[in-house]
Amino acid sequence: MENDHQPQETTRPYLIVITGPTGVGKTSVCTDLASRFRAPVISADSRQMYREMRIGTAVPEPEQLEKVKHYFIGNLSVHDYYNASMFEMESLALLETLFKKTNPVFMAGGSGLYVDAVCKGIDDLPAVDPGLRNELAEKYRSKGIAWLRQQLKQLDAEYYAIVDLKNPKRMLKALEICLITGRPYSSFLLRKKKKRNFGIVKIGLNLDRKELYERINRRVDEMIRHGLLAEAKGLYPFRNLNALNTVGYKELFDYMEGNTSMEKAIELIKRNSRRYAKRQLTWLARDRETEWFHPGDKEGIRAFIENRTGIMAEK
């Protein structure tokens, strides 16, 4: 993979990656730019793939989906198993097909692991001893999530800083690898880039922290007005599925079970969304190949893409 700073031959295929924290405006920016470059969009949002979770995952509006062809939106059910390795395989196959008829292709999403899977590849992890897995699961059930967090923090502070601390499945997986190999789980993640036969241009979107948090808060209010509670009620019977271990749904499930008020649930969705945005930025900051822009600077982003790829947008 190359990602240098000189204009390239237009015959070379390019993937334009638009990343950034939740609520920053990736969908709007990517849809507008993709339209001007006559390009399709691959969604790298690990939750927008689930067709039953449209409101809570802020899928593109119908007019945006009509304006630009999107892939990996609503293509799965919450009952389906899916992971970053599968996304890597399917996205690369799709890109091979798309590049035969269009250049560039855009990718948008805040799921850093999914973006990295396509751009760099997923490292092969060692097999885990089923006995160890069962032992850790039993300790988690008896000692609770606080114990799990503490163990992970001791063995892999780097991964602890970016993982969803409310997701025991991910923490258990990381802890398993730490214990069976004697190495931090983070040391296995994307250390060796796999060669890609297309160029990659990475664009990060960010805002002043106060402005970003205000946008996140407003978006949560809009989701509630547009029927997030009804959507969550329809998914309540499946609340234990991994797909629904997601901000916006977990808090409303607590409300439905009488553990909190609706007002408090909304407050928690906003808080947890802000915390998620902070973790996303921590993950994205690791990648020095990303060029950062304000989401309102669409002309600046367009000019940057043209300069890096030699591909011209429509006026």
Per-residue pLDDT band at 132 (split at 50, 70, 90): confident
Contacting residues for 273 by C-beta, under 8 A, at least 6 apart: 22, 23, 216, 219, 220, 247, 248
* 3-state secondary structure (DSSP) of residue 34: helix
Closest to 229 (Cα-Cα) out of 203, 211, 255: 255
Which region holds residue 20: left if phi is over 0, alpha if psi is between -120 and 50, else beta?
Answer: left
Per-residue pLDDT band at 1 (split at 50, 70, 90): very low
Half-sphere exposure of 179 (CA within 13 A, CB side): 18
The dotted CATH code for 14-123+191-309 is 3.40.50.300
pLDDT for the residue 3: 45
The sign of the torsion formed by the CA atoms of 45, 46, 48, 49 equals: positive
State yes or no: pLDDT of 162 exceeds 70.
yes
The model carries a pTM of 0.80
The CA distance from 98 to 104, in Å, is 9
Give buried/exposed letters for 240-249 (b at 16+ CB in 10 A, else e).
ebebbbbbbb
- For 130-188, CATH number out of 3.40.1380.10, 2.30.110.10, 1.10.20.140, 1.10.40.30 equals 1.10.20.140
Contacting residues for 290 by C-beta, under 8 A, at least 6 apart: 19, 202, 203, 204, 284
Mean pLDDT for the stretch of residues 92-105:
97
Going from N- to C-terminal start, the domains of the chain cover 14-123+191-309, 130-188
Q: Which helix (H) or strand (E) holds 43?
A: strand 41-43
Mean pLDDT for the stretch of residues 38-49:
96
Give the DSSP letter string of 216-269.
HHHHHHHHHHTTHHHHHHHHGGGTTSGGG-STTTHHHHHHHTTSS-HHHHHHHH
Write out the two tokens for 71. 């892939």
pLDDT for the residue 7: 42
